[in-house]
Structure 1
Amino acid sequence: MLDPFDAWNRLVAVQGSMARTGLRMAQTMSAANEVVIARTALASSALHSPVRGDHSELARMVPEKVAAFSSAGSAGVSAWWAAQSAWGSEIQHLSALAMRGRPLTAMELSELGERMFSYGLKSIEAAARLGAATVAPVHQKATSNARRLGRKTSQPNRNR
């Protein structure tokens, strides 16, 4: 039986999850800005003095992006596949009801309403998980890079 209080609590939890994902997106954008500024300076330094350039840092740029966005894409595809599977199950159920050759009874309509509400709620929760899962690898890499590069730029250059 449908519990409206449970549904409300689940929707509030989804709102919290989406807010956290939004915060992580803002942190990712801020960190990416810091990383671009720091790496632009490193690339410029390496162009002016190739011997003193931080080539290990410059070599990280492409592989780490590929890894982070691959993880994000994989999470997105997994969630999409699960959503398509759930949607297919619902379509099969509706098709079976439609092929009965008679109108639905009041009880069947009530059960269908509960099932559709439950499916909608699960879809909303899945969308929140999808957002969190796809942002997480990029957020982790961008923020860790910003912290690491922030430490590097705050330390005096030992090569000079």
Structure 2
Amino acid sequence: MARTRKTTARRKATPSDAFALATAGAELALASLAVVNARTPMIVQAFNDPVRGNYAELTRMISEKPLAFAQGASAGGPAWLAMAAESNRYLAQAWKTPSYGLAPGLSASLGAFAFWGRMMSLGVTWQSAMLAPVHAAATANARRLGPKA
């Protein structure tokens, strides 16, 4: 009876995922610029006239960042663990038995190439998961603080 290896289903990152990650990073940069531009005058006003400061917004400036980054760390944890598991799997297999000659060397090279491809795919998944909560908070702030249409 043949032994079958149990595998866990993982969603592979695609080139479009890498593009989506880059796009989200650019959106985050632009949203952050808009939010900083909107909030800086509020800080100046509160400094110059403490009675009339926008303390609801000033409080948001401090409280939302740790929350968004904690959510990002939590969301990225499973993908980071998947990267660690893949690394452990590859290293355990690569060091399992010594081999010599051209064919084992070629096999090892192809295995390493495939391993790094899987690691890059998992890395995009991990970074996307971590960026999502920060991106959501910053773009929501940019919409809320931006010009009203």
TM-score (norm 1): 0.70
8 A Cα contact 1:31 1:142, kept in partner: yes
Deviation at 1:141, TM superposition (A): 0.7
Match of 1:122 in 2: 118
8 A Cα contact 1:18 1:131, kept in partner: no
**In 2, Cα distance between equivalents of 1:43 and 1:112:** 58
Letter in 1 for 2:60: R
Question: Is residue 2:138 matched to residue 1:142?
Answer: yes
Structure 1 unaligned blocks of 5 or more: 1-9, 156-160
Structure 2 unaligned blocks of 5 or more: 1-10
Deviation at 1:76, TM superposition (A): 4.2
- Report the aligned-residue RMSD: 3.1
Runs of 4+, deviation exceeding 6 Å: 108-114
Question: Is residue 2:20 matched to residue 1:24?
Answer: no
Deviation at 1:146, TM superposition (A): 0.5
Letter in 2 for 1:19: F
Aligned length: 138
Deviation at 1:62, TM superposition (A): 1.4
Letter in 2 for 1:16: S
8 A Cα contact 1:35 1:145, kept in partner: yes
TM-score (norm 2): 0.74
Question: Per-residue displacement from partner, 1:37-57 (whole Å, max 9, x unpaired)?
Answer: 111111222223333221111
Of all paired residues, the percent bearing the same amino acid is 31
Deviation at 1:32, TM superposition (A): 0.6
8 A Cα contact 1:46 1:52, kept in partner: yes
Question: Match of 1:69, SS?
Answer: helix
- Between Structure 1 and Structure 2, whose CA radius of gyration is higher? 1
Match of 2:92 in 1: 92
